[in-house]
Structure 1
Amino acid sequence: MSKSNVDLKASSNKQHLYSAFLVGGISSVALQPLDLLKTRKQQQGSSKDIFNIKNIKITELWKGTLPSFLRTAIGSALYLTTLNRMRVFISAIENKEQNYIETYNKSSNLPKISHWGNLASGSIARSVIGFFLMPLTVIKTRFESTVYNYKSLDEAIKHIYKENKVKGFFKGFGSTLLRDSPYAGIYLVNYEFCKNFLNKHTLKEQSDFIVNSSSAIIAASVSSTLTAPFDTIRVRIQLEPNLNKNLFTTCANIVKNESFSKLFDGLSLRLIRKSLAAGIAWGVYEELIK
């Protein structure tokens, strides 16, 4: 293997870290209104007035932007950097006799690995990073709701700790794990499949950004739909932890006292938010690391 190939294989971790932080931060700020409306639609006892944009001040649509920015920017940086290292490792195992350049898609500088490799690397990386970012996830969700009216991060941290001590910052981790781990694995499999398909069936002069962004949008839409119930359950637990004790009782209560369809509350908003975020983030991210 030539030196240039070695350099490509060991692409700078800082490059992935900074690129992911940048695109994650930009998408979180730009799409925060969708996250806020989704959270309010999912909260218990929500009504049309709660998430009707006509009844919300424009500035209020960006409530919770700081914890959202920190969670998404830091999370994207850590997740995509960890994911890349895992995929490079898996690629080396799966393609021992192949030149490293040959393991890449035409529109991408990311390693091409098997579907099982993508499923495993995406799920594991998202689960590990998700655990460390749970406190920010809890704070972000509470900021976005109408249940709490925090004025600062410091106030939110003190209140959550007073209410449930350290475990309060990890409320809803089970449902978050069941949402994020499958989401990341399914997303990555679909993303790579779509990239391969579009690279084979689109014009050669087709923009790499268009191919990658389109693949990201499709992958995010599929993954978001399949994991939607766990997102609703997560929101309920994090907003009212004393009422919603765990994943199973919360799910049962929603189905019994409301309806099964309530598990998919906010899906349309989540689809828009996730697909746009993925299209922007992965399209720009792939360009930045080239």
Structure 2
Amino acid sequence: MQKAHAALLPPRDVGDSVETLMLHPVIKAFLCGAVSGTCSTLLFQPLDLLKTRLQTVQPSADGSRRVGMLALLLNVVRTESLWGLWKGMAPSIVRCVPGVGIYFGTLYSSKQYLLRGHPPTALESVVLGMGSRSVAGVCMSPITVIKTRYESGRYGYRSIYAALRTIYHREGHRGLFSGLTATLLRDAPFSGIYLMFYNQTKSIVSQDQLDVTLIPIVNFGCGILAGILASLVTQPADVIKTHMQLSPGKFRWIGQAVMFIFKDYGPRGFFQGGVPRALRRTLMAAMAWTVYEEMMAKMGLKS
């Protein structure tokens, strides 16, 4: 009798079991950000390596420091093979995958808590972007230091763990967070300015009236424009950060690095490596946001 009664009951909705397995929206945002960070990091790591090398190029015999990006690219391929362009890939992945996830997770939760559904103003976008990036920057600072040193070619760490242990033993906890202030002065304004321009340019185009297939293209285009503007504003801080992370004993505070760069390189020194960095940051951010928004849409969440 019980079996017959059970047979008459409607089958349990599959959605009920799926609902119990649903992740918290912030976790979903973290996972979407981590996936987008992985894709963009794998593609654009060579540009990051070239940027680091250009910022720390050594003077030639005639005292000249000017080296073109193409010449440096060919030199790396000739002396370190094609895979040499992906040197520092491991710390980049370890840094960017959770780092981008932390950024998007923090950004999503902040928007839900502070905005409560209404679109952000330009100022709110700046504050949200800067706050979210600062959280991610502090969390991933030790890996950022290792990544920069790998890319410079000056350090021969056997692994990320060995690098962490060596830096801690030789330089203490300060070494793991060297250049943190400069990093935040670079990343927080970049993310704030980027998010402001990205949201503002997206608001100009009404996506409700666009074909679904065109939305990713529009998002990518908005990301490109926002990335170029944000990269130009924050390039000097990136150069200062690189020098401080490579020579923490030499540069104990930002002013020392600023004076060194100005004395040895001149005003141009604050924009060394600007082209590969602008290309990488612009393309990486545009791709990360495009992938992130597409994945969030698939999960039924508003980014």
| TM-score, structure 2 normalization | 0.82
Shift of 1:199: 2.8
Cα RMSD after superposing both structures: 2.0
Contact residue 90 and residue 117 of structure 1 kept, 8 A: no
Count of aligned residue pairs for this structure pair: 263
Give the stretch that moved more between structures: 186-195 or 149-158. Answer: 149-158
Shift of 1:188: 0.7
Q: Which amino acid aligns with 2:73?
A: I
Quick one: distance in 1 between partners of 2:86 and 2:57? 21
Quick one: distance in 2 between partners of 1:22 and 1:128? 19
Shift of 1:204: 3.0
**Structure 2 unaligned spans of 5+:** 1-22, 60-64, 298-303
What is the aligned partner in structure 1 of residue 73 from structure 2? Answer: 53
Structure with the greater alpha carbon radius of gyration:
2
Give the stretch that moved more between structures: 69-78 or 37-46. Answer: 37-46
What is the aligned partner in structure 2 of residue 257 from structure 1? Answer: 264
2:109 to 80, 85, 88: 85
Shift of 1:166: 1.1
What is the aligned partner in structure 2 of residue 106 from structure 1? Answer: none
Structure 1 runs, 4 residues or longer, greater than 4 Å off: none
**Structure 1 unaligned spans of 5+:** 1-9, 93-99, 104-111
**Structure 2 residue matching 1:207: 3-state secondary structure:** helix
Q: Which amino acid aligns with 1:195?
A: K
What is the aligned partner in structure 2 of residue 230 from structure 1? Answer: 237
What is the aligned partner in structure 1 of residue 50 from structure 2? Answer: 37
Quick one: distance in 2 between partners of 1:204 and 1:36? 38
Quick one: distance in 2 between partners of 1:151 and 1:31? 23
Query: Is residue 13 of structure 1 aligned with residue 26 of structure 2?
Result: yes
Query: Is residue 198 of structure 1 aligned with residue 222 of structure 2?
Result: no
Structure 1 residues 187-223: Cα deviation after superposition (integer angstroms, max 9, x where no partner): 11100011012338x9733711011111111111111
Q: Which amino acid aligns with 1:204?
A: L
Quick one: distance in 1 between partners of 2:68 and 2:272? 15
Quick one: distance in 2 between partners of 1:14 and 1:181? 22
What is the aligned partner in structure 1 of residue 194 from structure 2? Answer: 187
Quick one: distance in 1 between partners of 2:43 and 2:230? 21
Shift of 1:44: 5.3
| 1:1-290 → structure 2 map (5 Å cutoff) | 12-43=25-56, 45=58, 48=67, 52-56=72-76, 57-92=81-116, 100=117, 103=118, 112-199=119-206, 204-205=210-211, 207-290=214-297
Quick one: distance in 2 between partners of 1:29 and 1:229? 25
Decide whether aligned partners of structure 1 residues 215 and 157 sit closer, same or farther in structure 2, where only a CA change above 3 A counts: same
Quick one: distance in 2 between partners of 1:150 and 1:52? 23
Give the stretch that moved more between structures: 82-91 or 65-74. Answer: 82-91
| TM-score, structure 1 normalization | 0.85
Decide whether aligned partners of structure 1 residues 195 and 11 sit closer, same or farther in structure 2, where only a CA change above 3 A counts: farther
